[in-house]
Structure 1
Amino acid sequence: MQPMRRVISNVRKFSTLSLRDLLVALGPTVALVIIACVAAWLLVDPAPPRKVVLATGQENSAYEEFGRQYAKALAKNDIKVTLVPSLGSQDNLQRLVDGKVDIAFVQSGSTNETQAQHRGLVSLGSLFTEPVWLFLRDSVKVDNLTQLRGLRINLGPEGTGVPRLFKQVLDVNGVEPNELKISALENTPATMALLDGSIDGLVFSSAPEAPLIQMLLQTPGIKLFDFTQAEAYTRRLPFLTHVVLPRGIVDLGRDIPARDYQLIAPTATLVARDDLHPALIDLFVQAATDIHGGAGWFQQQGQFPTPRYSEIPVAHEAARFYRDGPPFLQRYMRFWLANLFERMWVVLVPLLALLIPLSKVVPPVYVWRIRSRVYRWYGQLRAVEQELEAHRGEEAVLPNLLRRLDDIERRVNQTSVPLAFADQLYELRSHINFVRQRVRAAAGA
């Protein structure tokens, strides 16, 4: 066992490379590279946050239901979506501007491109159509919106976006809002008021999945207004589209509704602040494709989500998704692993910027460390020579100088340097012998 250890020790001593000195020489370089990479990782391309706040809508609204679906979809990638109820589109828009939420459902026609850019808002795409549902009691005889004058109509709170929308619809009919008895109840209280006769009608703008829409479409004594001039509305108000509620779509067995209804519809848009992390934009657009990509009452398979039908500029990441599909790595990896590799490209820039100049520094530092082991003994030799000169003729000090030289030589023999520097070690030993000869010559004299 002892001979084997001796062999290993000799191999280590007479190696062509000193691993310890190489590591010491590389240490500052590696530290600088790590610091630069960490700084780039955190500052240049920070990791996406694990929490995001989504503003939805009123109780029993389609926005509320879809918000739950988005929260469930992003939870699969360990992203917590906090749902914040609101009055509706206008309220959501204001919360985005105030920075209280990161992303929200906003109805088309709620703003314009100039305002959206000024407020720092971007669209992630249009999700679905939100028909304007005007429900009236059967006793109310209305075939044209001009006949709403004097009736008690609920448009909901200002934050819902419906008042702004329906007032534009009234305006193209030449009807002033003050000619109606407008109330501002929220969806659920307004529905109860319609059923008990406290109001004559109410206006919703929502996807058909909303529970209150489903209920009112099947409630006896309640009828849906038919926008027979729907195509004309879309020409006068470009943010609206013409959709048809097909006969029997609610209940084929009971033939509800008993005929086709022409409706006008803005679109629901997923809107975010422009500082939302790009990776989260990708996740939300992918979730939107899963949630809204199927066929529905007013849409064909794959029609939504889409970058069209929105006056708000579409985010670059969302536009890229609609053009090219999901990012390449996310097609084959989980979100966080794909995001890790995508961010690695940012780290390569400072890494290359540092490695090129620092690679020229490491070799000289390594050489200096090896040579310093040899050079430091020259200081000891010089000290012996100076003492020899200082005590010339004093023979009592000479044995002590010889012992010091023997000690230096012994310690030099224990010094290990790579084979490439062995010539310097042998040269040092010859110089030690040279000084020893001078001391002996002085003793002989």
Structure 2
Amino acid sequence: MLRPPRSPRFVARVIAVSWRDLIVSMGPIVAISAAAIWLAIRLIQPAPPDTLTITAGPPGSSFWNSAQRYKAILARKGITLNVLASAGSMQNLERLADPNTSVDVGFVQSGVALATQSASGASGVSAASDADSASGASAVASVAAPSSAASRAAQRASASASVASESPGDSAASAAPQAAAPNHDPEHLVSLGSVSYVPLVIFYEGRKRSRLSGFAGKRIAIGAEGSGTRALALALLKANGIEPGGGTTLLPLTGEAAAHALTTHEIDAAFLTGDSAQPPVMAKLLRTPRVRLFSFDQAHAYARRFPYLTDIELPMGAFDLGKNLPPETVHTVAPTAELVARDSLHPALSDLLVEAAKEVHGRANLLQNAGEFPSPVMHDFPISTDAARYYKSGKSFLYRVLPFWLASLADRLIVLIVPIVVVLIPGARLIPSLYAWRVKSRIYRWYGALIAIERSALDETSTDEERAASLAKLTEIEGAVNRLKMPLAYADQFYVLREHIGFVRARLTQAYDEQAHTDAGGA
């Protein structure tokens, strides 16, 4: 008669938590959350730098003065704005387009890029006759004026070119020609918007003139090398048949040098704009006897021919009602000053700069209405996506209600919170279910074996050897179960499994006894 094997020793341990199951349950959730947080960190904007560099214009020019006001406004937000002096818009564009210069933003007169391209060939030709470098100014002046006057004009041209092109960290630019188109690709530059008009003001002596072609054969100061004034003057003069190398003498004078040369009859006309000339100089010329302010009778035509120009009308007495200056309505043309930045500019700093531009340029004056600037008007460069968002909806909620540094921190933390809220928190709710499933699976997996053993052993056709094998297998199962580590919370199911193992064992033993009794009776 077959005897069931001896029951295995009970060595199971009841523990508080199955750390192995808990770790395995948490693994996928933690891995997915870590991947989401890593992706968020990769996409998150770094903290905005606390220092910016702007390339402006010559000290005292409207560009320089605006940059100084920007500096004060940004200082209130904890941002240091370094202001670099320059010759004007063309040098600003060259610096911004050069990836090797540490410049973030600058003022660029609209149309400079287009005017530079169209005038680059002419500028190369005029390098010999106009002496693009400061050292060549004396040669031009000696041909254009008597020797004594020529000497003084040359000295002032040299000084003007030196001051206009010298700037902190960029003194080597003082001798470099700036009339040529930038050598670097400006595709990485974007506009933060147009911030003001930059009217072209032409002062001259002699009979009244209404067309630029009337200055043919004269001595004209068209601005220093690297200035937007020079680029604009060359473009407008070329449209009137006046080009470098012809019978008209074009001198690289601006500001005080141009004003002094005009009042001492060393030149016949001076082209001035706020990009390179000081406003007090222009105001002084306006009040100088025998010096006329040129009025563009064809201003509307210029605005059509050159899309970046605007027809500006200055009414009689606009500058001084008591002295009736100007004595008659004057029309002039004006490009706009664009605030140009590299496309790597931090979005938070882009908002600060546009906000500063609104404070500096948003008020009404003789040339503009209140709120007309800054505006997202695109000329030479596309409007940046950050600036476009600001013009459409203003500052984000965080930057409206929090200090700048705190809003910047919160803005970056939100990006980290999103994967935590979307992935980690719902995933954490799944951990208990995964944990319970793993623990219960260690119990439930034995029930299939128990059913198979019971069904095989109780089959009427099974032999004694098959029943003995089933009983031995049951003993192995019981031994494996008795060695389990079971969390205390699932001890009841553990004991239910052991009861069921005992139940199957009892069924098998009963079957063996009945079969033995039958065999004995038959004998």
TM-score higher than 0.5 here? yes
1:104 partner letter:
G
Q: Does 1:340 align with 2:340?
A: no
3-state secondary structure, aligned to 2:220: strand
Q: Which moved more, 1:356-365 or 1:185-194?
A: 356-365
1:131 partner letter:
P
Match of 2:88 in 1: 88
Unaligned 5+ runs, structure 1:
1-15, 369-417, 424-445
Separation of aligned partners in 1, 2:331 and 2:217: 24
Structure 1 segment 79-158 matched on structure 2, within 5 A:
79-99=79-99, 100=101, 101-111=103-113, 119-137=187-205, 139=206, 141-158=208-225
2:236 partner letter:
V
Q: Quote how far apart the aligned CAs of 1:312 are.
A: 1.3
Query: RMSD of the alignment, in Å?
Result: 4.0
CA contact (8 A) 1:103 1:271 kept: yes
Match of 1:69 in 2: 69
Separation of aligned partners in 1, 2:398 and 2:59: 38
TM-score relative to the length of structure 2: 0.60
Offset from partner CA, 1:323-356 (integer Å, 9 cap, x none): 2222232222222222222222321344355666
Q: Quote how far apart the aligned CAs of 1:135 are.
A: 1.1
Separation of aligned partners in 2, 1:118 and 1:223: 39
CA contact (8 A) 1:33 1:355 kept: no
Separation of aligned partners in 1, 2:35 and 2:48: 20
Structure 1 segment 3-402 matched on structure 2, within 5 A:
40-41=40-41, 44-99=44-99, 100=101, 101-111=103-113, 119-137=187-205, 139=206, 141-177=208-244, 178-206=246-274, 210-308=279-377, 310-351=379-420, 352-353=422-423
Q: Quote how far apart the aligned CAs of 1:307 are.
A: 1.1
CA contact (8 A) 1:126 1:267 kept: yes
Separation of aligned partners in 1, 2:234 and 2:378: 20
CA contact (8 A) 1:162 1:204 kept: yes
TM-score relative to the length of structure 1: 0.70
Unaligned 5+ runs, structure 2:
1-15, 118-181, 439-486, 493-523
Separation of aligned partners in 2, 1:309 and 1:221: 40
Give % identity. 39
Aligned in 2, Cα 1:38/1:189: closer, same or farther, shift over 3 Å? farther
CA contact (8 A) 1:58 1:64 kept: yes
Q: Quote how far apart the aligned CAs of 1:83 are.
A: 0.4
3-state secondary structure, aligned to 1:182: strand
Q: Which moved more, 1:290-299 or 1:254-263?
A: 254-263
Aligned in 2, Cα 1:362/1:39: closer, same or farther, shift over 3 Å? farther
Offset from partner CA, 1:366-397 (integer Å, 9 cap, x none): 9x9xxxxxxxxxxxxxxxxxxxxxxxxxxxxx
Separation of aligned partners in 2, 1:164 and 1:420: 84
Aligned in 2, Cα 1:258/1:50: closer, same or farther, shift over 3 Å? same
Offset from partner CA, 1:283-317 (integer Å, 9 cap, x none): 11111111111101111111111112523110111
Separation of aligned partners in 1, 2:287 and 2:435: 85
CA contact (8 A) 1:132 1:204 kept: yes
Separation of aligned partners in 2, 1:357 and 1:328: 30
Aligned in 2, Cα 1:141/1:112: closer, same or farther, shift over 3 Å? closer
CA contact (8 A) 1:230 1:242 kept: yes
Aligned in 2, Cα 1:256/1:365: closer, same or farther, shift over 3 Å? same
Separation of aligned partners in 1, 2:114 and 2:388: 19
Q: Quote how far apart the aligned CAs of 1:204 are.
A: 1.3
Q: Quote how far apart the aligned CAs of 1:121 are.
A: 0.9
Separation of aligned partners in 2, 1:179 and 1:249: 36
3-state secondary structure, aligned to 1:298: coil
3-state secondary structure, aligned to 1:158: coil
Separation of aligned partners in 2, 1:213 and 1:262: 16
